[in-house]
Amino acid sequence: MAGIAAALQREDRAFDEPLTVLRATGARAPFFFVHNDHGRGLYTHALGRALDPDRPVYAIHLHGLGTRPLPDTVEAIAAERVRGVRAAWPRGPYVLGGHCYGGVVALEMARQLRGAGERVETVVMIDTPAPAWRAQMLHGVSRAVGRAGRLSPAARAALAVRVTGAAEDLVERAHRGRARLVGLARAGFRRQAAAVGRRLAGAAGWVARMVGAGDDPVLTAAPSGVAVAGWEAYRRAIRQYVPAGYDGAVTLFRAAELRATRPDLGWASLLPGLEIEVVPGDHHTCVTRHVGTFAQRLEARLRRLE
């Protein structure tokens, strides 16, 4: 057991490095991908294999299992990762991308690289919602409640994470449940009653987990306190980030199964060069189960830009 623990600690220290090399050689512009995974971003290896073999590919880690604390802001996170990118590949052109809020970090990295005079072919965002005023409002409300309740800064930050996470989860559940409700409306009384009972029981458990009543299996079973702290710091940085305008090429790949009120996920007013493509799958499977289709669509777009 001691040997296993020592090996895991060595692997965790390896994730203090900002990048993992998936393919180091090739003549095309390198692709630097912010995977947004809680851990090691293992699915990025399949993505690297599916892309053009003449394209270098690097996975960028954010809030994994490393031992170094995450910077407090998206700008500082991006600056730290840009240093890693330029150490691995000193000159552009670059292709930057990210999944979920990793796309926000990739966009900020592109802004900083272009500000330094480097060429960025395009930014690729995969199911990346723009930091919205509703999320900022919820963050402000949770901070006000924390101050009124005389909570410590750490407790207020944890409350903000829970409130914004709960709101996101509630919206997602509402979209998923719409089709089920339509089906229930056509079903018999017994089936409707049973389904409502199951949903109420599930909702009660969800509320208890969100507000912290009882043990939260996600938090209590976390692999390490460092990983949990890193994830919470990352969410706080995203919530506080106000993206600046960006006039370069940006492609937003939206998962076909994502239900959203705005097809642009809130980006159109900030990104005049935005183009949107729809790829198979949901928020997660579009870059895992359907990674081959995504890679083909991405390469087709990159060839048009190069």
- What whole-number distance in Å separates Cα of residue 151 and Cα of residue 125? 36
pLDDT value at residue 150? 62
What are the tens digits of pLDDT across the range 187-199? 655 565 565 556 6
For residue 109, how many other CB atoms are within 10 A of its CB?
A: 28
- Measured CA to CA in angstroms, residue 246 lies from 54, 134, 208, 251, 275 at distances of 28, 22, 41, 12, 13
pLDDT value at residue 8? 46
- What whole-number distance in Å separates Cα of residue 128 and Cα of residue 271? 13
Contact 302, 120 (CB under 8 A): no
pLDDT value at residue 262? 75
pLDDT value at residue 212? 41
189 contact partners, CB below 8 Å, separation of at least 6: none
- What whole-number distance in Å separates Cα of residue 121 and Cα of residue 119? 6
pLDDT value at residue 218? 29
Please identify every stretch of the chain with a pLDDT value under 70, giving residue numbers as ranges: 1-17, 37-41, 63-68, 132-230, 259-261
Query: Residue 84: which of 19, 16, 15 has the closest Cα?
Result: 19
pLDDT value at residue 55? 94
Using alpha carbons only, how large is the chain's radius of gyration in Å? Answer: 21
Burial of residue 126, with CB atoms counted within 10 A of its CB: 0-12 exposed, 13-18 middle, 19 or more buried: buried
pTM of the model: 0.68
- What whole-number distance in Å separates Cα of residue 283 and Cα of residue 252? 13
pLDDT value at residue 129? 86
DSSP 42: T
pLDDT value at residue 234? 80
For the chain, domains (ranges, CATH) are 2-131+243-305 (3.40.50.1820), 133-238 (no CATH)
* Euclidean distance between the first and the last CA atom of the chain, given in angstroms as a whole number: 51
Contact 92, 221 (CB under 8 A): no
- What whole-number distance in Å separates Cα of residue 101 and Cα of residue 130? 8
Q: Which pair of structure tokens corresponds to residue 49?
A: 């294999």
